[in-house]
Amino acid sequence: MEIVLLLLRQITIMFIYMAIGFVLFKKKIISLQGCADLGRMLLYVVMPCAIIRSYLTDYSREKLGALAVSFVLALLSLILAILLGRVFFHGDQPLERFSAAFSNAGFIGIPLVQMTLGEDAVFYIAAFVALLNILQWTYGVLTITGDRSVISVKKILSNPVVISFAAGIILFLLPVSMPAILNGPVQAIAGMNAPLAMIVLGIYLAQVPPASIFTDRLSYKVAAVRLLVIPALTIALMKLFPAQYSAVKLAVLIVAATPVGSNVAIFAQLYDRDYAQAVREVCLSTVLCIASIPLVVGAANLFL
């Protein structure tokens, strides 16, 4: 029960950050271009620092074992989400398949795990975020476009999240420490992740008329699959793993239970799909997650 109350508190704080972004956009203090610039800053600087910071810890066999378990859990839960997206949505609903499959593990998952379980827990979810990005640029792009030729290995290998994950693993495995002159900035920039990510999401919300968010039936179906069905079956999947990895399982579950990832809107715009529909799905699921994530974690405490 304590973890559920803590989650509710942290989600409330995150929504306060979102409200700031919402007001900044509505008052024209920040523009669409400014929002895009903040998003790039998050992707290329802040989130990589948050991932690298999680690996600035002493090596141990126990941590290496937990890292391996987190990687397997992340891979299985993402495959499960992809399969369920295909079960619930037809081939002529590519945006919905993408939205169901890929959670907002980076912008919401990392801050929420940081604020709820502590900085060390990000160590367990970095693999999830990296794998999610790889799958978005392969399966996700193929789903939206139907064209294999648009899949780019170069884009995957140059993705800042994938690079920071690889760098973090190397730092964890090598018997070296990051110099203090670098460690300080990495720690400080990583601390920007939660407020900046939520401010950006608040700007997304401000772009969509509230009536269109709450009256679209398809968006509710996407939200139900993404926020309830997938997390519920992820809990069942996690029961196959030993109880000693409960902290790992909880961290991975939280990122797996986050709302629709904002990349679906970016990809919809990039590949000339229904951008407005993608934004509605992101916004509705983000609003509803304030109730769904504590519910999922409360269920996990009972069944895991």
For the entire predicted model, the pTM comes to 0.88
How far, in Å, CA of 81 to CA of 304, rounded?
A: 19
Contact 107, 200 (CB under 8 A): yes
Helix (H/G/I), strand (E/B), else coil: 260: strand
Indicate the pLDDT class of residue 293, thresholds 50, 70 and 90.
Answer: very high
pLDDT (0 to 100) of residue 194: 82
Asked whether residue 1 carries a pLDDT value surpassing 70, the answer given is no
Helix pair 263-270, 275-303: axis angle to 10 deg: 150
Indicate the pLDDT class of residue 252, thresholds 50, 70 and 90.
Answer: very high
| Domain spans of the chain, in order of start | 46-193+210-303
| Torsion (CA) 110, 115, 116, 119 in degrees, nearest 10 | 70
The pLDDT tens digits of the residues spanning 21-77 come to 999 999 999 998 888 888 889 888 998 998 898 888 888 888 899 899 999 999 999
Give the residue among 293, 285, 277, 234 at the shortest CA–CA distance from 260: 285
Task: Return the sign of the alpha-carbon dihedral for residues 185, 247, 163, 114.
Answer: negative
- Size of the chain in residues: 304
